């Protein structure tokens, strides 16, 4: 998106119409942009979706505000408000009407470096400084940004956005509408060695990695995330899964569809996640475990074994969330309890 | 800096003069470089600031040593020592006199790729292979290294050092004297989705990010760190804050001034840190929390709620540090205590 | 490696001969590739090394299977099996006979940017878009991939593989056969500041880093890993050590030989690891500690002090592994125990 560039405008009445919301106040108010309550001005639209931020409505300079139904009567200064069931979802329909998306010029820039036998679809954009090696296939309308490297034999689908500084190792597979942010590494060798005596000394001998990294449709991958290729098997990310920044996905991992994997998570080798799994930030999943569909894993959890479908686990080592909460709560009462137990033991002279 | 390149020299007497220290020993000793005690030679300066390393003073080959006052009588071999209140601080004044800094040649290299309507200040250095997109402003004496990409509409201040392989997404703001190390990503999209039914299936629909990433004056950002742009609000890093390697700063986070954020920390979306906050390595801060000014957060801590100003918290979930220490200490006594409690329960037949 | 490219073939008899294994079944079976049991076809070789996956042998379509001795009688469909003492090790000798490795064309591409006084060995490959700054030395047969930057004064040995998008800061040292994956940063400045009053305000003043990053022979470094240069001392990675993705090695750290450091580990400044140390994923090692040779550190462990040679430690704060296991096991019994203690205290009216 291009914030702060020439923007469009909408009236409060149009905002209500587009979002299917109920307008309260001045229908003629015109807004040109969206901003948070604490810095919005009279020509800007803001939003209130949580009671936590309700007091800010009395101080905001916003001209129009989207409000959730339960907050519609919150006292406040804006001259118009639009009551919508989900303000964040309403923003989804408004942003494209207020902000012009970046349009990448079509074509292969003469300063891109293109290998032999490369096949590109219609209306692709390959920027200057991008490197596309031999035998690559790129689908329609896909953007390969400057300074990105697409390894030999890779196939990329339609409508992908491959940001600057992405490395895609040879023979990777990307579906349609994949977004890879800057610094993403797809298909790097996994961490696999055989310990051998080499000339009288123990050495870690590298296992050549002949598997692939396969990324499904509609996957978004955050900045500086690494997804290793498989050793013999493939590493697979299911369609619709979203991965945050600085995540590590090891070799042979299979992540299901429509999962959410938050920042700095690590999934060790050969583990399998079902569909709709949510892994919160900085959690780690040990190798060779199975996480059932719909399972949720808490932040910083350390998963050392399988998790059944639909369950929420947390803590180290990860346990069902309620059990972890009870254990943690008990832990902080422990010093006092120990003192009392000592007194008791003293009395009964055990 | 340029270690091991043609260096300058100083005598022990000059070392004492420049650092304001007290010279003990041979004032005529000449040194050409700085090295740690265990590998310094007779023409090198070393330093001793901790009693832990005091025994090394008897074995060092260093010609001259900076010593802290409380260690000034430590027996040792160097022919001269200079007593200074803080040896590390003394090094700050000596390094520029012994090591010539790298000087980047002024100008825009013809092999840099510069967009339309780019404004650059005096004496900038834009290296070959750097990409500066349309409508960018670059301040005086700023260095844009080879293979760095500066997105459209970005403003960068004076005296910045943008190392190779940095990606700055469009419409970012960098103050003066910002240092961004290799692989830093500024302004990438945050992890924001609305869950919607799309054609009968649950999908995570991307929220376009129209906020910015705003980096204050004198901020240094470590290698491969990622700082997302705001969704509607901005992500802001306060002046004088230093961020280590592989850190994740999510969308809409506000970090205050003069903070220290160590390696692999993650700060989740919309959290706010006051001024002078220290977050130790691998700690995680949950979204939408407030960390008061001067608070300190321990390594690997998991912060799930607000922390008052000036307090030190640690552990998972993070608690005041003393409480965490007590709980952890108790935890390791727990197995023994349980055994004794079982005996007691056995006796009283509960 | 080049998966899925023109491959070679072997018969079951040849597989047995090359691996020193015992053939059972059809010696004439021909295979062209290697695949996991669940997707191998009749012209593919698969392998079974763990009883966990034994049931898959009845459903696999693989033509030939390598099996461990204890699993040799597992019922299954493949028409030939080869019994080998270690199937993973056997694969090491077979992969080069079935998959042609990538061969980088020899020479310095005219679109590489080479500084002054650069010395290169025989048969190097420096790709288009690579940047080699002044005074660099590159050994024989080393590959510098596209978009990699080698800083001034760096020395790289023979037979190294430096993948795309690697940044090597000035004056680094790499031994022979070093592999650096995409996004590796070697020699970036460490996180070192002196707190000083600057114009009435507390500031973190940067300590210029004049040490080096020194990488030994046969070291492999995973994608997006960062290894800082030393402040005054050097940062050193010992020969034969393997480092996974997204690892942080701080300034002045010394890692011994033949260590394994898994994904997202952080080693803080000036810590020292002996030889053969294994650090599991997401563990953190505090600054200035010593880890003895052969020590093993568990996943997500937080190491706050020295660890003796040969010991296995885990947990936060890290303790000997058995002690951590006992404490963790007790923690999850704690809520029940507390309830019983409360009952007891109630009865004895303490």
Q: What is the overall mean pLDDT for chain A?
A: 94
The yes-or-no verdict on residue B339 having pLDDT over 90 is no
Least CB–CB distance from A223: residue in B226, B327, B334? B226
Locate A342 and state its tokens. 């000592």
For the stretch A277-317, pLDDT in tens is: 999 999 999 999 999 999 999 999 999 999 999 999 999 99
Entry pTM: 0.95
Distance CA B333, CA C247 (A): 33
For the stretch B54-99, pLDDT in tens is: 999 999 999 999 999 999 999 999 999 999 999 989 998 999 999 9
Long-range residue pairs from C21-28, CB within 8 A, at least 24 positions apart, any chain? C21/C66, C21/C82, C21/C83, C21/C84, C21/C90, C22/C82, C22/C83, C23/C80, C23/C81, C23/C82, C24/C72, C24/C80, C24/C81, C24/C82, C24/C83, C25/C64, C25/C78, C25/C79, C25/C80, C25/C81, C26/C79, C26/C80, C27/C80
User: Among the options A165, A171, A251, A321, which is catalytic?
Assistant: A251
- Asked whether B285 and B303 are in contact (CB, 8 A), the reply is yes
Q: Tell whether B344 is within 8 A of chain C (Cβ).
A: yes
- On chain C, the residues whose CB falls within 8 A of the CB of B281 are 248, 266, 268, 284
- What secondary structure does DSSP assign to B62-126, as a single string? -SEEEE-GGGTT-----SEEEE-S-HHHHHHHHHHHHSPPP-PPPEE-TTSEE-TT-EE-TT-EE
Which residues 7-36 of chain C have a CB within 8 Å of chain A? 34-36
Query: Quick one: A290 exposed, middle or buried, by C-beta within 10 A (0-12, 13-18, 19+)?
Result: middle
For chain B, domains (ranges, CATH) are 10-98 (3.40.1390.10), 107-321 (2.160.10.10)
Q: In Å, how far is B222's CA from the nearest CA of chain A?
A: 13
Q: What pLDDT is recorded for position B348?
A: 74
The yes-or-no verdict on residue B41 having pLDDT over 50 is yes
- Interchain CB distance below 8 Å, B232 and A128: no
Distance CA C97, CA A179 (A): 37
Residue among C134, A100, A61, A319 nearest B170 (CA): A100
Q: What sections of chain B are H helices per DSSP?
A: 12-19, 87-98, 321-348
Greater confidence (A208 vs C345) lies with A208
The yes-or-no verdict on residue B2 having pLDDT over 60 is no
Q: Which residues pair with C143 in a beta bridge?
A: C125, C161
Task: State the Cα torsion B255-B257-B259-B261 to the nearest 10°.
Answer: 40
> From the centroid of its chain, how far is CA B108?
29
For the stretch A23-34, pLDDT in tens is: 999 999 999 999
- What secondary structure does DSSP assign to C141-153, as a single string? T-EE-TT-EE-TT
Q: What pLDDT is recorded for position C7?
A: 57
Residues 6 or more apart whose CB falls under 8 angstroms from that of B134 comprise B115, B116, B117, B118, B152, B153
Distance CA B59, CA B51 (A): 15
Residue C211 vs residues B1, B179, C188, C230: alpha-carbon distances, Å? 9, 19, 10, 4
Q: What sections of A203-348 are H helices per DSSP?
A: 321-348
The yes-or-no verdict on residue B305 having pLDDT over 70 is yes
Least CB–CB distance from B319: residue in A3, A218, A332? A332
Cis preceding linkage at A317, omega within 30? yes
Q: Which of A54-58, B29-33, B138-142 has the highest mean pLDDT?
A: B138-142
Q: What residue ranges of chain C have pLDDT lower than 50? A: 1-6
Q: What pLDDT is recorded for position C336?
A: 87
> From the centroid of its chain, how far is CA B7?
27
For the stretch A106-138, pLDDT in tens is: 999 999 999 999 999 999 999 999 999 999 999
Distance CA A213, CA A235 (A): 5
- Interchain CB distance below 8 Å, A347 and C348: yes
For the stretch B169-206, pLDDT in tens is: 999 999 999 999 999 999 999 999 999 998 899 999 99
Q: Tell whether C91 is within 8 A of chain A (Cβ).
A: yes
Q: Tell whether B319 is within 8 A of chain A (Cβ).
A: yes
Q: What pLDDT is recorded for position B115?
A: 97
- On chain C, the residues whose CB falls within 8 A of the CB of B130 are none
Q: What pLDDT is recorded for position B340?
A: 85
For the segment B304-324, the average pLDDT, to the nearest whole number, is: 97
What phi-psi label fits residue A176: left (phi over 0), alpha (psi between -120 and 50 degrees) or beta? beta
Cis preceding linkage at C317, omega within 30? yes
- Asked whether A165 and A182 are in contact (CB, 8 A), the reply is yes
Q: Tell whether A134 is within 8 A of chain C (Cβ).
A: no
Greater confidence (C45 vs A341) lies with C45
- Interchain CB distance below 8 Å, A332 and B347: no
For the stretch B212-262, pLDDT in tens is: 999 999 999 999 999 999 999 999 999 999 999 999 999 999 999 999 999
Q: What pLDDT is recorded for position B349?
A: 64
Q: Tell whether B152 is within 8 A of chain A (Cβ).
A: yes
Least CB–CB distance from C258: residue in A129, A171, A203? A203
The number of beta carbons lying within 10 Å of the beta carbon of residue B69 is 12
Residue C169 vs residues C214, C231, C255: alpha-carbon distances, Å? 11, 14, 19
Distance CA C309, CA C294 (A): 6
The number of beta carbons lying within 10 Å of the beta carbon of residue C105 is 8
Q: What pLDDT is recorded for position A244?
A: 98
Q: In Å, how far is A163's CA from the nearest CA of chain C?
A: 14
């Amino acid at each position: 998106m291009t914030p702060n560039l020439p923007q469009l405008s909408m009236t409060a009445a149009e905002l209500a119409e587009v979002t299917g919301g109920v307008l309260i106040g001045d229908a003629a108010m015109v807004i040109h942009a969206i901003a948070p309550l604490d810095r919005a001005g009279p020509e800007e639209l803001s939003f209130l979706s949580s009671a936590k931020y309700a007091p800010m409505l009395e101080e905001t300079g916003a001209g129009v505000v989207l409000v959730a139904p339960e907050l519609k009567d919150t006292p406040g200064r804006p001259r118009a408000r639009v009551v919508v069931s989900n303000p964040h979802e309403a923003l989804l329909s408004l942003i494209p009407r207020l902000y012009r998306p970046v349009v990448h010029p079509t074509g292969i820039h003469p300063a891109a470096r293109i290998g032999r036998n490369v096949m590109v679809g219609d209306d692709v954009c390959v920027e200057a400084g991008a490197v596309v090696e031999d035998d690559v296939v790129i689908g329609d309308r896909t953007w390969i940004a400057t300074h990105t490297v697409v390894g030999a034999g890779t196939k990329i689908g339609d409508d992908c956005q491959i940001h600057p500084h992405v490395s895609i190792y040879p023979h990777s597979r990307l579906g349609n509408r994949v977004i890879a942010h800057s610094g993403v590494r797809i298909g790097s060798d996994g961490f696999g060695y055989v310990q051998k005596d080499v000339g009288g000394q123990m050495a870690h001998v590298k296992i050549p990695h002949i598997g692939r990294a396969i990324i499904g449709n509609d996957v978004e991958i955050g900045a500086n995330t690494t997804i290793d290729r498989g050793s013999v098997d493939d590493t697979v990310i299911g369609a619709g899964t979203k991965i945050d920044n600085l995540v590590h996905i090891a070799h042979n991992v299979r992540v299901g569809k429509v999962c959410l994997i938050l920042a700095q998570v690590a999934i060790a080798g050969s583990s399998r996640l079902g569909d709709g799994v949510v892994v919160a930030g900085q959690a780690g999943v040990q190798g060779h475990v199975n996480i059932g569909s719909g399972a949720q894993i808490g932040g910083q959890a350390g998963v050392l074994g399988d998790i059944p479908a639909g369950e929420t686990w947390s803590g180290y080592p990860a346990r069902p969330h309620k059990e972890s909460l009870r254990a943690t709560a008990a832990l902080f009462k422990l010093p006092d309890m120990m003192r009392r137990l000592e007194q008791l033991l003293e009395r009964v002279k055990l």
